[in-house]
Structure 1
Amino acid sequence: MFEIQNYGSFLAAIIVFQLIPGPGTLAIVNATARNGVGAGMAAVVGTLLGDLVYMVAALAGLAAVMHAHPALFQGLQWSGAAYLAWIGLQLLLRPAAGAPLATETRKRAGVYFRQAFAVSLTNPKVVLFFVAFFPLFLRADASSVTLGAMMLHVTLLSLLYQAALVLVGNAVARQLSALPFARRLATRLAGAALVGFGVKLALDNR
């Protein structure tokens, strides 16, 4: 669909990555816990905007590589599959961490927007992720429409998940912070899923 290879795996991988707590997720949960839904949604917009900047940069570079060096693009696909599996192994092996959130005085939503935007832009793993992730679902002759469709999918699914996190997930997350077993289980399941994605996509791209 939309000339995206392995479309079902593409959607599933985006969802799995959204479920892995990262700096952006923590910024959103933190803003919501401290100053409510308005602050949380402002953090969502900041995170999405930062991700969009990296997506545009990653896809602009990938588009040039796809058309000029098809063999190099295939190498990127293999590297991306290996990177997905490596992230999964890291999640399987590392301890799950988390701490209760503190309270503070109210701030304007714009403060949390700027904080989340800065967190997203200063996380170098974001651009590395997009450079590794997108080639797994692209053909070397993919058009700019396909690239735009991929960006739109990532943005919309991220918006849906992060908005839900603000509206209902924050209360659950605060409860889970006191349940180390639940955090460990969620982390291990996400890690196993990513290793599986890496292996499957490497086989599909042979």
Structure 2
Amino acid sequence: MDYHVWLAYVVTAIVFSLAPGSGTVNSISNGISYGTRKSLAAIAGLQIGLAIHIVLVGAGIGALVAQSAIAFSVIKWIGVVYLIWLGIQKWRDTSSVTAMAEQDNRSAWNLMRSAVFINLTNPKSIVFLVALFPQFIDPNGDQVTQLAILGVTTVAIDAMVMLGYTSLASQMGRFIRSDRIMAKINKVFGSMFVGCGALLAAAKS
């Protein structure tokens, strides 16, 4: 792969990762609630989901999902229900930062599993990758190698962006000690999860 083509893809991937979405909301919410260290599991989960999408796209299944209204709709509505459920749970969460620090009731494994599911049930990610990858792959070159380069680049950039969101949110959490403020923040993020679900519901293949 030509170096200049790769650099162009890096810029595109950064924009893609910075764009607000359910993964971004998840990273910020976890950063405030659990801090950076524990949220690393969720970031890893998001990347696992993204990596699975990349593999599916490479295997040609992504093109099928992009072209099949039924496959797209099934994945989409699973994601819609899950995001709305997360939003309702977050809206009803009345835990303060201090209480969460003492209880620490969500394991790293649960955070990772939830994050994997959030990315897996976002078919727009597959459609985006299906539309994006061909623009940067030379049909005369080794497509497997090129796909691997683009995939690793995508995951690495998204992981760094999510880590940045989580770290900034964690710093915010250190200054939040009021139960009333935390309750309002939980409602904001709950609304954002529901909003992501609504946007996903409006998505078309």
TM-score range, shorter chain: 0.5 to 0.7
- 1:169 and 1:15 mapped to 2: Cα distance? 19
CA contact (8 A) 1:5 1:138 kept: no
Matched, 1:8 2:7: yes
Q: CA deviation at 1:6?
A: 2.9
How many Å apart are 1:44 and its aligned residue? 0.3
Superposition pairs of residues 31-110 of structure 1, within 5 angstroms: 31-61=30-60, 104=95, 105=100, 106=104, 107-110=106-109
2:13 and 2:3 mapped to 1: Cα distance?
13
Q: Deviations over 1:142-181 (max 9, x none)?
A: 3111111111111111122222222235546999xx9xxx
CA distance in structure 1 between the aligned counterparts of 2:109 and 2:130, rounded to whole angstroms: 30
The separation in 1 between residues aligned to 2:52 and 2:165, in whole angstroms, is 22
Note if contact 2:43-2:159 (Cα within 8 Å) is conserved in structure 1: yes
**Taking structure 2 as the reference length, what is the TM-score of the superposition?**
0.59
Asked whether 1:163 is paired with 2:154, we answer no
Deviation >6 Å, runs of 4+: 172-175
Question: 1:114: which partner in 2?
Answer: 113
**What SS does the aligned partner of 1:139 have?**
coil
Contact 1:4/1:137 (8 A) holds in 2: no
Distance 2:171 2:52 in 1: 30
Q: How far 1:60 moved relative to its partner?
A: 2.1
2:153 is aligned with 1:153: yes
> Does the 8 A contact of 1:49 with 1:117 survive in 2?
yes
| Counterparts of 2:4 and 2:119, CA distance in 1 | 27
Matched-pair contact (CA < 8 Å) for 1:42–1:110:
yes
Partner residue, 2:71: none
State the alpha-carbon separation in 2 of the partners of residues 4 and 127 from structure 1: 25
The answer on whether the counterparts of 1:29 and 1:40 sit within 8 Å (CA) in structure 2 is no
Aligned to 2:18: 19
What is the match of residue 139 of structure 2?
Answer: 140
Distance in 1 (CA, whole Å) between partners of 2:39 and 2:94 is 14
CA RMSD of the aligned region, Å? Answer: 3.5
In 1, Cα distance between equivalents of 2:172 and 2:129: 29
* % identical aligned pairs: 24
Does structure 2 retain, via aligned residues, the 8 Å contact 1:5–1:137?
A: no
Structure 1 residues 135 and 172, CA gap change in structure 2 (3 angstroms): farther
Distance in 2 (CA, whole Å) between partners of 1:17 and 1:169 is 20
Measured in 2, the distance between the counterparts of 1:171 and 1:124 equals 32
Per-residue Cα deviation, 1:95-146 (whole angstroms, up to 9, x for no partner):
xxxxx98653432121111111110111111111111111111122231111
State how far apart, in whole Å, the 1-side matches of 2:146 and 2:19 are: 26
Question: AA paired with 1:32?
Answer: G
Q: Secondary structure at the match of 1:6?
A: helix
Query: In structure 1, how many angstroms separate the alpha carbons of the residues matched to 2:50 and 2:152?
Result: 12
- Give structure 1 stretches of 5+ with no counterpart: 65-99, 179-206
Which consecutive residues of structure 2, in runs of 5 or more, have no partner in the other structure? 64-89, 177-184, 186-205
Work out whether residues 28 and 41 of structure 1, in 8 Å CA contact, stay in contact via their aligned partners in 2: no
Cα distance in 2 for residues equivalent to 1:141 and 1:123: 31
Alpha carbons of 1:130 and 1:120: their partners in 2 closer, same or farther (altered >3 Å)? same
